[in-house]
Structure 1
Amino acid sequence: MWRIWLIFDPRRTLVAVCTFAFLMVMLNHFIQLSTPRYNSWLNAPVAAKAAQK
């Protein structure tokens, strides 16, 4: 395992992994917010009017 760190710089690798993970998390959140089930808070006035009827 230690030979891998001779090839890859640990700081660059950690930054790359964290950046990739952050981008995947943000992509996942935006995909979920684009679905009708999870974006109800964005359409709250419309949902509130529908609930009053």
Structure 2
Amino acid sequence: MSIVPVLLLGLAGMLVGGVVTLVRQDATKFSVGLVAVLALISLAGGVLWLIPGDS
């Protein structure tokens, strides 16, 4: 088992928290969208890393 998916999913959680904080602070839509996209990429990477494949 690798530590990478755990790190990616943890990063996704922190980024989602950042999105919530940015929304509460009335940040620009661009900054909220950018952090949200980074959170989704991190989440997708962590989940895809867990899918078994040919090694």
- Structure-2-length-normalised TM-score: 0.49
Q: Does 1:18 align with 2:31?
A: no
Partner SS state of residue 7, structure 1: coil
Ranges of 4+ aligned residues in structure 1 off by more than 2 Å: none
Where structure 1 has 5 or more consecutive residues not aligned to the other structure, the ranges are 34-38, 44-53
| RMSD across aligned positions (CA) | 2.3
Cα deviation, 1:16-47, whole Å, max 9, x if unaligned, reads: 000000000000000113xxxxx1xx24xxxx
Work out which structure has the larger RCO, using CA pairs closer than 8 Å and 6 or more positions apart in sequence: 2
User: Counting helix residues as a fraction of each chain, which structure ranks higher?
Assistant: 2
Where structure 2 has 5 or more consecutive residues not aligned to the other structure, the ranges are 1-22
Query: What letter corresponds to residue 15 of structure 1 in structure 2?
Result: L
Identity %: 0
- Structure-1-length-normalised TM-score: 0.51
Structure (1 or 2) with the larger CA radius of gyration: 1
